[in-house]
Chain A
Amino acid sequence: MSTAADARRQLEPALAALNGVVLGKDREIRLALACVLARGHLLIEDLPGVGKTTLAQALAKVLGLSYQRVQFTSDLLPADVIGVSVFDRERGGFEFRRGPVFAQLLLADEVNRATPKAQSALLEAMEERQVTVDGVTHPLPDPFFVVATQNPSYQIGTYPLPESQLDRFLMRIELGYPDPAHERELLRGRDRRSLLATIAPALPPESLRTLQATVPTLHVAEPLLDYVQALVRHSRESGHFEAGLSPRAAIALLRGSQAWALLHGRSGVLPEDVQAVARAIVGHRLQLRSAVDGDSAADLEGLLLQAVPVP
């Protein structure tokens, strides 16, 4: 219990710092942080200009992580992400030049603008937490956290990520427009870029690693497991969805809930924690059978969360 309260105390400054940069997005910031704690990767889907990049950069700063950014374009090659072997004339052999993926926090901007080939190079690295080039395996740094942003897929010139690749992201969040009050503050305040430069790390990487290790050990009561299973079962049996949630998705839901609970200083997971992260974790993994197109999150809320009673 003390560890949970302790965790909250450690995370409080980080949250405050983030909220100071990205205004009016407390919930999304918490989700992003929970995603880091659960050792997942984050997919931010929204229109350009709502602060995706700012959030990613702020996260890197606050957590004191090395930061790299790759702008995904249609001519991006896998080597541009992973790195490349170049011939070293002096030593008479090839030398591996590390790509931007070897950062602790990698911002993959507009990931759906790149070709599937470049996308999958990144996604494989995310999954394996290592890259193999010319038969040599290079481990990626720890912590390793990818924030990918993506434009809504109806925009032209995009290669939507296939469902199997979407699964690699623990959470998908949308930022959305700020509300008028915060927008006013944004307009009045300093430039975000310069503000970012002033941020000092609020959580040492060592603490982050410890917190990450704590997440999977956070107490989960039997009735909560019942609840997670009921949600998963409903997604499979209700007939509202193209395919039900996989066991991997169930684990993701549980890990995300544990991270959320830890973030809120709880020593055990509540149904509310599951509900808080469910949309971010499940939204990109389920497809509504009757969905016409576009955003189905509201339906998801009604069809899954509101339909399964809390045990």
Chain B
Amino acid sequence: MTPNSGVRRLLATAGALSIALLPHLIHLPAWVTAAFVATVAWRIAAEQRAWAMPSRPWRLVGAFAAVLGVLLQFHTLNGLDAGTALLTLMAALKLAETRAPRDHAVLVFVGYLLCLATLLYGESPPRLAFVLLAVWLLTAALARVHRPVGADAPVRPFRLAARVLVLGLPLAVILFLFVPRLEGRFWAIPARGGAVTGIGDDMAPGDVANLALSDEPVLRAWFDGPPPPLASRYWRVQVFENFDGRAWHRATTRADGAPPPIAPAGTSYRYRIALEPTHRPWLAGLDTVSDWPASSVERLRSGALVRIGAGQAPSPVEARLEYELRSSPRAQVMPDLLPDDLRRRDLELPAAAAPRARALAARLRDGRDERAFAAAVLARFHDEPYEYTLQPPPLGADPTDEFLFTTRQGFCEHYAAAFAVLMRAGGVPARVVVGYQGGEWNDVGDYLLVAQASAHAWNEIWIAGEGWVRVDPTSAVAPERVHRDGRGLAFAGGGVGRALASAAWVVRARQAWDAARTAWSSGVVGFDAAAQDRLLERIGLGGAGIRGLAIALTAGFVLAALGLGAWLALELRPRREDPLVRAWREFCAALAARGLPAGVAEGPLDYVRRVARAQPALGPAVTAFGEAYVQARYLPGAVRADVARVVVLSRAVRARIRAAR
């Protein structure tokens, strides 16, 4: 091997490997990347200058150093980040001892593993596209390594790799569709920590401000029938009932965990929700969830899923989760009776908290009933100079009083918290509900998209005979905050950005993109056991379970093999035979059967003359055929008629030959 071709071979492999590594750069420690790059550079220089490779002890030292480094960095060798870092370092070490094609092959397989890891970090279409590109390059490097030395046609390995990948595609699709799905996270990769935004388990005023600036999607909902009107789009996530004077906390669930009595009323909506991985143990549902289909419960595999909105998912939602629900926005919750223990909890205020608010509440209650009292409080929010802003001044030890009487600037959380305190002080059971309000209708995909920017907090007060009634104090201050279906940013910002964000085509493009992403994540990423069952149902193997999958898988493989065989047969089929050639071949075969085979290199006229000499009886017919054949095949001016004449003559002459004895 010339040194040059060795370098080129190394460049191909190391290059493909580096491209496979690219998506990992953002989470790999810098020293790992540096070590990899340095090794690649050193190895190529070593190949060019024929430096010695490190000896075995040195390689061992390198391996130990790599493991130690990863341990020091991550405190574990397990997990995606640590695993990827270790894999990268091992690839670098392998590079340091790469000589034979076998070593290149190992490197390429490390590259494939890195591609797999890339998909564990995320499953978006661009990511998949990049991984496919990397796999293509890796396969090309593999093909290149296995080409004979000196056969340097630089394009061929790429073509070969592309062809192999395309041919493998049907098998990949079959495996994707019919390999049994494991529920949940197959890879058992521990969830990655880190800053996670979203609604938490408690609420202190000011928490949601960062959410309002994030247009990350939270959930998408598909409705059977028309979606609910704007004013009803309240998505419950958490209910906060315990107030410590400063922050609101989730109430400890009642021991029995039984769903509260609900009296359905008004329109009900049946819909399917796809919840993005929120890394939080809650689910979301349209207020008020009245029913959850058995399939949905089974889907969640959770007996704990009983109270959506006030309830929890069994564990943090780490992967996209789909479930079905039914909601009746006008349903009455616990209309007749609020048990004493609950009433006590929902009236409780810490003794020292908010003295001025208590006084205000007492003044406003003043013998009014619950509704009138609530209306009075809302009227105060509306009439007094309260301001809705996402950048309120910070609040001190007693946030309620400070907000109500000093700063008077805040957003939904401030108003909801203050409203709940005022209600409780006035003797009305009240609680804070946190969730999302609104949602953008996507025309392209026919679904409702709720983003983090729609995070919202509101209240519920209990009124005898009506149950828990929703009150949204923010709407008293900033009605436009509630009555919009666009994005939070469009509201919070303004000017050019707002104009641009609301231009029709921008909205359309954004919605199309989101719909495509959604179709991808529910159709491909979200293709789970249930979707598999539905698919089996559709191809007539429903209910057969794992056996159905086995049948489908086998049939798929057989079909793929047949398809491949057909393609190969088509590719390798003999070119359609020229009728002249065929006539001549059959003529020769007929004579050969009479013991007069043509010589391998015998010209047609020579052959015909020889036959005429050997079998004078056949002479005229054979000569006529031979001359017609030569005329049509070798001489100028032959037309289709000549060819046809040869074919006809060939039949006649063969009949004569067969007849002759």
User: Which residues of A does B touch, CB under 8 Å?
Assistant: 1, 219, 221, 223-224, 266-272, 275, 305-311
Q: Known: A306-B600, A309-B601, A310-B601. Is A272-B606 also a contact (CB below 8 A)?
A: yes
Supposing A219-B635, A267-B635 touch, asked if A309 and B605 sit within 8 A by C-beta, the answer is no
Q: Report the minimum CB–CB distance from A240 to chain B (whole Å).
A: 15
Cα(A66)–Cα(B454), bound, Å: 108
Q: Using an 8 Å CB-CB cutoff, how does the interface string of B636-654 with A read, 1 for contact, 0 for none?
A: 1100000000000000000
Task: Decide: A1 and B637 in contact? CB cutoff 8 A.
Answer: yes
Interface pair A309/B600, CB less than 8 Å apart = yes
Q: What 0/1 readout, one digit per residue, does chain B (384-412) give for beta carbons within 8 Å of chain A? A: 00000000000000000000000000000
Indicate if the CB atoms of A270 and B601 lie closer than 8 Å. no
The residue among B601, B602, B604 with the most chain A CB atoms within 10 A of its own CB is: B601
- A-B CB contacts (within 8 Å), total count: 53
A275 touches B634 (CB 8 A): no
B: residues with CB less than 8 A from A are 581, 599-606, 630, 633-637
CB of B603 within 8 A of CB of A272, answer: yes
Which B residues touch A306, using CB under 8 A?
599-601
Cα-based distance from A305 to B599 in the complex (angstroms): 11
Q: B634 near A269 (CB under 8 angstroms)?
A: yes
- Take A270-B630, A306-B600 as given contacts and tell me if A219 and B636 are in contact as well, using a CB distance cutoff of 8 Å: yes
- B600 A224 Cβ-Cβ under 8 A: no
Q: Which 7 A-B pairs have the closest CB atoms?
A: A219-B636, A272-B603, A268-B635, A271-B603, A221-B634, A268-B634, A309-B600
CB of A35, distance to nearest CB on chain B (Å): 21
Residue contact A270 to B603, C-beta cutoff 8 Å: yes
**Given known contacts A267-B635, A270-B630, what 11 new A-B pairs fall within 8 Å (CB)?**
A1-B636, A219-B634, A219-B636, A219-B637, A269-B634, A270-B603, A270-B605, A272-B604, A272-B605, A305-B601, A310-B604
| Chain A contacts for B635, CB-based, 8 A | 1, 219, 221, 266-268
On whether the beta carbons of A224 and B601 are closer than 8 Å, the reply is no
**A264 → chain B, closest Cβ, in Å?**
10
Q: Are A307 and B634 in contact (CB under 8 A)?
A: no
Query: Which of chain A's residues has its CB closest to B607's CB?
Result: A310
A311 to B634, CA, bound (A): 11
B601, B633, B637: the one within 8 Å of A275 (CB):
B601
Partner of A267, one of B581, B601, B633, B636: B636
- B602 & A310 in contact (Cβ 8 Å cutoff): yes
Tell me which of A1, A272, A307, A309 has the highest count of chain B C-beta atoms within 10 A of its own C-beta. Answer: A272
How far, in Å, is A267 (CB) from chain B's closest CB? 6
CA–CA, A266 to B636, complex, Å? Answer: 10
Q: Residues of B contacting A269 with CB < 8 Å?
A: 634
Q: When chains A and B are docked, how far (Å) is the Cα of A1 from the Cα of B636?
A: 8
Once bound together, how far apart are the Cα atoms of A266 and B633, in whole Å? 13
How far does the alpha carbon of A223 sit from the alpha carbon of B630 in the complex, in Å?
A: 11
| Chain A residues, CB < 8 A from B605 | 270, 272
B640 to chain A, nearest CB (A): 15
Asked whether, in the complex, the Cβ of A223 is within 8 Å of the Cβ of B633, the reply is yes
B604 touches A224 (CB 8 A): no
Q: Which residues of B contact A266 (CB under 8 A)?
A: 635
Q: Chain A residues near B634: list those with CB within 8 A.
A: 219, 221, 223-224, 268-271
Docked Cα-Cα span, A266 to B606, in Å, equals 15
Please give me the residue from chain B that is nearest to A304 by CB atom.
B601
Question: How far is B446's CA from A306's CA once the two chains are assembled, in angstroms?
Answer: 76
| A310 to B581 Cα, complex, angstroms | 11
CA distance A309 to B602 in the complex (A): 8
**Distance of A270 Cα from B634 Cα, bound (Å):** 6
Complex Cα spacing A270 to B635, Å: 8
CB distance from A232 to the nearest CB of B (A): 15
Chain A residues closer than 8 Å to B581, beta-carbon distance: 311
Compute how far the CA of A224 lies from the CA of B634 in the bound complex, rounded to whole angstroms: 7
CA distance in complex: A219, B600 (Å): 24
Contacts A/B (CB < 8 Å), 26 sampled: A1-B635, A1-B636, A219-B634, A221-B633, A223-B633, A223-B634, A224-B634, A267-B635, A267-B636, A268-B634, A269-B634, A270-B604, A270-B605, A270-B630, A270-B634, A271-B603, A271-B604, A271-B634, A272-B603, A272-B604, A272-B606, A305-B601, A306-B599, A307-B600, A309-B600, A310-B601
Complex Cα distance A272/B610, Å?
A: 13
A268 and B603: CB pair below 8 A? Answer: no
CA gap between A219 and B603 in the complex, in Å: 17
Name the B residues within 8 Å of A219 (CB-CB).
634-637
- Chain A positions within 8 Å of B599 at CB level: 306
Do residues B633 and A307 form an inter-chain contact, with CB atoms below 8 A?
A: no
How distant is the Cα of A4 from the Cα of B602 in the complex, in angstroms? 24
Which residue of A is nearest B606, CB measured? A272
* CB-CB nearest in chain A for B638: A221
CA distance A267 to B604 in the complex (A): 16
Q: Give A272 to B603 CA distance when docked, in angstroms.
A: 5
Using Cβ atoms and an 8 Å threshold, which residues of chain B touch A305? 601
Chain A positions within 8 Å of B630 at CB level: 270
Contact in complex: A310, B633 (CB < 8 Å) = no
Q: Which residues of A contact B603 (CB under 8 A)?
A: 270-272, 275, 310
Q: Which of A266, A271, A308: most chain B Cβ within 10 A?
A: A271
With contacts A270-B630, A272-B606 known, is A308 near B601, CB below 8 A? yes
